[in-house]
Amino acid sequence: MSTEKPLINRVKKSPLVTINLETYYPDFPIVEFDLKDFLFKGLILKEKDFRSAIQEVNWADYSGQVVCLHCSTDAIIPVWAYMLVASEAAPYVLESYQGKKEQFLQYYFKQQIAAEDWSKHQDGLIVIKGCSDKEVPLSAYLDLTTALRPHVKSIMFGEACSTVPVYKKKKS
């Protein structure tokens, strides 16, 4: 007669809810469009040349993508230049965003987190998953923590088997 007890997966039976921010990652391509490539010597915007070069871009190559408009040099780019590029790209792209991909991801995650009804986790025990294969911005973890805090009993970071406490509601 065996005295061994069956193994019980305590993590699976626990009331912990794991939120994986990676699931909010956009499912569309995000590309950077550097305006420096359309400047004289990469530094000076000559209006006539700039307009001509932007009109020659095959914007169909950017179909279904978010285009992040930025300039990687210290050139002074007038506002209208970004507007011109966005106008030319508009019929093809999902969205034109002024900034780099990293900044767009911060903006995107902030929108996704704000749109969620976190009250569904009222008095919940939450684990915010720590490891991800995609570029989840640090700001998303802060935004999620801030959004969850009014609703939950506790927030932890990491994996269900190994967490770091972040927040615990004080008993009234």
76 and 115, same domain (yes or no) = no
Round to whole Å and give the CA distance between 38 and 118: 44
Contact 106, 139 (CB under 8 A): yes
For residue 136, the enclosing domain spans 10-26+106-168
Same domain membership, residue 34 and residue 16: no
164 with 110, same domain: the answer is yes
Q: Does the residue 99 lie in any domain?
A: no
Q: Which of 93, 115, 133 is the last residue of a domain?
A: 93
pLDDT tens sequence across 98-142? 999 999 999 999 999 999 999 999 999 999 998 888 989 999 999
Summarize pLDDT for 2-56 with one digit per residue, the tens.
677 665 555 455 689 999 999 999 999 999 999 999 998 888 999 999 999 999 9
Provide the number of structural domains found in the chain: 2
Q: What is the pTM of this model?
A: 0.85
Strands 162-168 and 125-129: unpaired
Q: Are residues 72 and 47 in the same domain?
A: yes
Residue 101 lies in a domain: no
- DSSP string for residues in 26-91: -SS-EEEEEGGGGSBTTTB--HHHHHHHHHHS-GGGGTT-EEEEE-SSS----HHHHHHHHHHHTT
